[in-house]
Chain A
Amino acid sequence: MSWVLLAALVVPFVTAAVTLFTGHRSDVAAKGISVGGSALGLLLAWVVALAHLGDAPPLAHVFTSTRTVGPPIELAVYVGPLGAAMLILATTVAFLVQVYSLGYLADDPRYPSYAALVSIFTGAMSVVVSADDLWLLLVGWELMGACSYFLIAHHWELEDARAGAVKAFLITRTADLGLLFAIFVLGDRFGTYRLSTILRVITEVAVPRDGLWLPALLLAVAVIGKSAQVPFHTWLPDAMPGPTPISALIHAATMVAAGVFLVARTYPLFLSSPSTLTFLALVAAVTMFLAAVYAMVTHDLKRVLAWSTVSQLAYMFGGLAAGAWSAAVLHLLAHGAFKALLFLAAGSVVHAIGGATSMDVMGGLRDKVPDTFVTMTIGFAALAGVVPLVGFFSKDAIMHAAWEEALHGRLVWPWVAWLLVVSMVATAALTVAYSLRAWLLVFFGEGPEVVHDSPATMRVPLVVLAVPTALGGLAVTVPGIIGGAPGEHLVHWSTSVLMTLLVVATAALVLVLYRRRGRAMWGPVVVPHPPIDWVWDRFLVRPVRWLAVLVRAGDRDVIDAYADGAAASARGIGGLLRRTQTGSVQGYLMVVVVGATAIAVAAGLLA
């Protein structure tokens, strides 16, 4: 089984290489190879993952390890229920994205490199979710950052795309330093880089409360950056100029999900450090509300979805901080399904009206792109938490856990827990509002003529994703599938009823506003943006530039000056000697004669 997993990890990279080498010769070959390789990877991943869901013993295997001084670096894999579920999510969404891209990027000249990067992205995410060695995990982690940079900059002729890609890369890369240093600290503390060993030691040996706050905090910084939480949240909405399927991939199954996955994977470490969980809860509480407010007021469909991703990820972190591991992981999987659906549907809408992403030019599309309308409705409903859909169950489970934590929890500080609960409730209402607003603006009212309905390759993935979005809620009845504690109940009637009432009330309010004011439901509200980018620019970017200037000056004016000075002085002294080489033979002879005479005279005098 471990070799199947290794094959599942290698196949995407091989696919990418083959796609790159053959893709520019034949369009059909590029598409066939990338989709076929993706399907093969999907198959292998499912074979591995299905065997390790639920109570099955986890797959742990060390292929090889280094023999050096210090803790060995191992090519070690570990697939437990969580890893298996993530493997399924990542490869499935990646496969659907590949299929979808056949239609979406049908005429794109850069399709081969795009498909290859999607393959690498998938492979990197598979490495992250199945790695047991921290360095292996870091490799996948960084590879995703690099791939997201390239994919966001797919349309590199656009200024926005380039700037967004650089921003995404720099911000996530800065935060990734946390992961690197966490690895150093953990390796130093435990004498091994095997994640399963470290977690077992933490679980079995009673670590003093907050004894491991430093690695936990460093990991928290890394995942906050990767998952675009405050104060690293600004890169995600700016990453929107990338192709829409890429947004689906980044937002649903891979990049940002990796952050939540890492916290879930190393959860015993976080549980041993409540102060880090408090920090995480605070970040989540601020992020979810802020992002939801931005999603309310933005006019760009993709940016609405981007902000909602930030907000929903904050839900997951909030759930993890409140101790609701199963609920948070379930929400991660559910969000992976419905956000992929929403982004792909948004891509379908954008494709249908000819490329504009602003909701101002959309409207009335419900009977022009009927398949997209139905599936996107399901997606928005799941995002808003409407009753039978998957988002409802997972969100309610998280909210109930936060409520319990606030009442009589001991993980996070009480006031932070209360802040988290308040923020979650407010954000749930806002989520309903912005989902409904986007839905109304896109599908109702007067709108443009449809250029072309989406091809089948784009509609089928939507339908496929709509299935888990609609029926995924059944999973809450068996939390054991993803490795949650046995006997854990994720459905709570009191919270569910309250939340449903909240959803209905908010929806009614929005509908009344829509009836009364039309498309400008709450007008052009300008939400003051916290000067995060300004702070980064002033305190990180500029100091780094100053340091760079300083280093350059030191290199050029000090170090180089010594080297140049040595050369120049040798040259100067040599120049003096060169004066004698006049080329005048008689001059030379004169020196010889005078010298010989002088020696003769001296010899005569001395003798």
Chain B
Amino acid sequence: MPLWWPLLVASLLFAIGVYGVLSRRNAVLVLMGVELMLNAVNINFVAFDAQLHDVLHAGQTFALFTIVIAAAEVGLALAIVLLVFRTHGHIEVDELRELADRDDPAELSAPQAASEGVA
């Protein structure tokens, strides 16, 4: 199997992941995008491991590391998403702009208060 097949799949997967992270509004879908990108990296690891006939199989080992880290990351991230949902009543990423630099501090709290009212 030529090397470029898994690399193509990994590139497509990474691109889909980036697209998901950048364009999805739902935080869970953004996290899924992140997962896709991580798994694209995993494919690369495994593909090069097989191609280079690594005796220690370092590529496969790193893939395992990545999976563990991804699991931990998604656990933490979902906890954050849960808290965001509890405080804001939604998980729309583009609505979460409290850190924007604005002139009037009142503008910051106003949307939050409104959304709490909704919740």
Contact = CB atoms under 8 A, between A and B. Distances in A.
Interface string B44-67: 000000000000000000000000
B22 A589 contact: yes
B73 interface: no
B31 to A, nearest CB: 13
A586 B100 contact: no
Interface in A548-607: 578, 581-586, 589-590, 593
A581 B100 contact: yes
A578 B100 CA distance: 9
B96 A585 contact: yes
Interface string B18-29: 100111000000
A582 B22 contact: no
B23 A586 contact: yes
B22 to A, nearest CB: 5
Contact of A586 (B93, B98, B99, B101): B93
B22 A590 contact: yes
Contact of A578 (B94, B97, B99, B101): B101
A581 B98 CA distance: 11
Contact of A581 (B22, B23, B30, B101): B101
A593 B22 contact: yes
A582 B100 CA distance: 5
B97 A583 contact: yes
A187 to B, nearest CB: 59
Contacts of B23: 586
A583 B96 contact: yes
Contacts of B18: 593
Interface in B86-108: 93-94, 96-101
Contacts of B30: 586
A586 B93 CA distance: 8
A590 B100 CA distance: 16
A585 B93 CA distance: 8
Contacts of B94: 584, 586
A588 to B, nearest CB: 10
Contacts of A585: 93, 96
11 contacts: A581-B99, A582-B100, A583-B96, A583-B97, A584-B93, A584-B97, A585-B93, A586-B93, A586-B94, A589-B21, A589-B22
Given A583-B96, A584-B93, A585-B93, 7 more contacts: A581-B99, A583-B99, A585-B96, A586-B23, A586-B93, A589-B21, A593-B22
